[in-house]
A = this chain, B = another copy of it.
C-alpha cells in the first residue's frame, strides 16, 4: 500500500487514539509503533502529521486542558470563579491521571493552555489583583490541582509492616487504595479552602 484512495489519518484521529491509549494503559504504553498499529497504520506514517512524539503528547495534554470549564470567570466574582475553575480543573485532570505528569511539567504553550491562562489572569486583574499577584495565584492553583491529581498518594503506600516499629506514626497512614484517593481529594479541598479564604482576607484588607 502507498497513498491509499481514502485518507487513513488525521491529526484528530491520532490525538484521539493516543488519548485513549494513554488513559487506558499509561504514558509508557504510548509508542509510535503501538499507536500506529491501533490506527491500522505503520509507525512512521504518524510523522506526516506530527514532527515528533513529544508533539503528539503535547496535543493529548492540550485536549485535556480544553475540557476545563473557565466559564465561571465571566459569571462570578473572582474568588467564587477561582473556586469553580479549580474544581473543574481538578475534575478533568482526575479523569485523565496518566496525562497529569505531562501537564505538571511543560509550560502550556498550546492553545488551550494559553486560553485558560488568559481567562484566569484576566479575571484576577479585573478583580483588582496586580499582574504579579495574579501570576502567583495562578501558579499556586496549578500546584494544588496537578499535585492532587497526580494520584501519587493513590499509587500505594504499602509499607513493610516491620517498619512501623521504627516509624510509629506511619502505622496510622491510610493504607487502602480507596483511601488514598480520598487523601488527595481531601487535601485539595482543604488547600482550596485555605487559599481562597486567605486570598479573600488579603483582598479585603487591601494588602495587595
Give chain A's interface residues, CB within 8 Å of chain B.
101, 104-107, 109, 114-115, 117-118, 121-122, 125, 131-132, 135-137, 139-140, 142-144, 146-148, 150, 152-153, 155-159, 163, 167-170, 172-174, 183-184, 186-187, 190-191, 193-195, 197-199
Contact = CB atoms under 8 A, between A and B. Distances in A.
A87 B45 CA distance: 49
A104 B140 contact: no
A53 to B, nearest CB: 13
A139 B192 CA distance: 13
Contact of A137 (B169, B190, B198): B190
Contact of A159 (B114, B125, B150, B183): B114
Contact of A122 (B137, B157, B169): B169
B174 A140 contact: no
Given A121-B172, A144-B143, A167 B198 contact: no
A157 B138 CA distance: 14
Contacts of A122: 168-169
A172 B130 CA distance: 10
Contact of A184 (B137, B139, B186, B190): B139
A20 B82 CA distance: 41
A91 to B, nearest CB: 17
B199 A194 contact: yes
B114 A105 contact: no
Contacts of A198: 193-195, 197-198
Given A131-B172, A139-B183, A152 B105 contact: yes
Contact of A105 (B101, B117, B172, B186): B101
Contacts of A107: 152-153, 155-157
A159 B117 CA distance: 12
